[in-house]
Amino acid sequence: MNYDIIIIGAGPAGLSFARSLAKTDLNILMIEKSSIDQLSQPAPDGREIALTHLSVKLMKELGAWSHIPPEVISPIKKAKVLNGNSSYFLNFGNDNSSLEALGYLVPNYHIRQALYDVVKIIDNVEIMTDVSVTDVQPGCISLSNGNNLQASLIVAADSRFSNSRRKMGIPASMHDFSRVAIVSRMEHEKSHNQTAFECFHYGRTLAILPMTGKMSSVVITVSADVADSILNMTEEQFNIDVEQQFKSRLGSMKLIGKRYSYPLVAVHANRFVAERFALIGDAAVGMHPVTAHGFNLGLRGQNTLAKEIKDAISKNKDIGSMQLLSKYDRKHQSITKPLYFGTNKIVELFTNDTLPAKVVRSVTLRFANHFAPIKRMITNKLTEKDEKGYLPFIKL
């Protein structure tokens, strides 16, 4: 059977891309290996997504923002970066009164639910679940159920470990940090005042992200060889450990629900396109979470590709042409490359516990805090918004 576009993967990137093309006459098929129940009713996974202003704008344009319960949306009004045992911190948010928030924290499963809800009602989008892609060729895929399908364009959104990317011969730069992120929700005695904390301790990183009420998302990043010792702590031990690591800034802290763990591996495809084939979402670039740009880049990338496709439709041009795909590749690469490699350098510096690195870390934070242009540039990149509105491109 022939389609205009086949999307491999019905995660947030794939769903948002399908929704971006809802008002076209394109015949679109989504392939998802999970069940329809898992797709339509995603379970909590511990991950909270920090959305930039641009991402919120795009979510509103997709019609998905109104499907997220307002009570689970938490604005991040300030952010503080701490280094080691020093009480000194790099501060963001206080010097820009015109900015309502640096970003907005939303549970990942609510985002997935909202995007599915706006896609399931689209007439030109078909979702096929419980099936996986076994082979990909230009304009053609083979499925685990034995079917072969053709399309003018195949778009892969099947994770940072994309099998489709490999099948199409696209190499990728991969950085295994040999670290694990342990995420959980915790209640605390004191108010966080909508402030996010990133604490680069020696041997571990602790992020405290403000949720609604007196609750925060806690992200502990440690070497893979010690992750199990934290995961296996009793609740009481875990509560005391986090409270001590955070120096009781929020008073007593209590674990709410489960602890989840995720290995940290960053990936950037060397190119995002091939013949009648394109990558979006984590299949294109999977970020280390420290700068919170992973989901935001995925949302932005699908929007860029969708705009190129709609422009081609308006001019009666081939939606799978290499000319169109190369334009998408150039645009998205110019945004993702600096962020990807820059983020990896930040992680390398702030997880290096040698004496020279500690000195550089301290000097870097103090310089950024007292040099207004640098601080403003970092804020703009974190929020994807400046004084004139939404940033069209991110360049370092």
What does the pLDDT average to over 103-122? 97
What angle in degrees, to the nearest 10, is found between the helix axes of 294-314 and 322-350? Answer: 170
In whole angstroms, give the CA distance from residue 250 to residue 187: 9
Identify whether 258 is part of a domain.
Answer: no
What does the pLDDT average to over 78-99? 69
pLDDT-based confidence at residue 96 (cuts at 50, 70, 90):
low
Identify whether 197 is part of a domain.
Answer: no
Identify whether 242 is part of a domain.
Answer: no
What does the pLDDT average to over 84-96? 63
pLDDT-based confidence at residue 221 (cuts at 50, 70, 90):
very high
Identify whether 328 is part of a domain.
Answer: yes
Identify whether 57 is part of a domain.
Answer: yes
In whole angstroms, give the CA distance from residue 353 to residue 135: 44
Does pLDDT of 376 surpass 70? no
Does pLDDT of 248 surpass 80? yes
In whole angstroms, give the CA distance from residue 104 to residue 204: 25
pLDDT-based confidence at residue 143 (cuts at 50, 70, 90):
very high
* C-alpha angle 29-34-35 in degrees, rounded to nearest 5: 90
pLDDT-based confidence at residue 388 (cuts at 50, 70, 90):
very low
Count of domains in the chain? 1
DSSP characters for 131-172?
--EEEEETTEEEETTS-EEEEEEEEE-S-TT-HHHHHTT--E
80-84, 147-151, 352-356: which has the highest mean pLDDT?
A: 147-151
pTM of the predicted protein model: 0.88
What angle in degrees, to the nearest 10, is found between the helix axes of 12-20 and 294-314? Answer: 30
Q: Give the alpha-carbon dihedral of 14, 18, 19, 22, to 10 degrees.
A: 180
CA distances from 44 to 111, 119, 187, 227, 367 (A): 11, 20, 17, 21, 39
Backbone angles phi, psi at 100, to 5 degrees: -60, -40
Identify whether 216 is part of a domain.
Answer: no
Q: Give the alpha-carbon dihedral of 175, 179, 181, 182, to 10 degrees.
A: 160
Does pLDDT of 373 surpass 50? no
Which stretch of 217-231, 245-259, 302-316, 377-391 has the lowest confidence by average pLDDT? Answer: 377-391
Which stretch of 182-196, 318-332, 378-392 has the lowest confidence by average pLDDT? Answer: 378-392
Identify whether 374 is part of a domain.
Answer: yes
What does the pLDDT average to over 83-97? 63
Tokens 């080691």: give the residue: 84
Name the percent of the chain lying above pLDDT 70: 84
Give the chain's mean pLDDT. Answer: 88
What does the pLDDT average to over 380-385? 57
CATH number at residue 27: 3.50.50.60
Range of the domain at 17: 2-174+266-387
Does pLDDT of 367 surpass 90? no
Identify whether 225 is part of a domain.
Answer: no
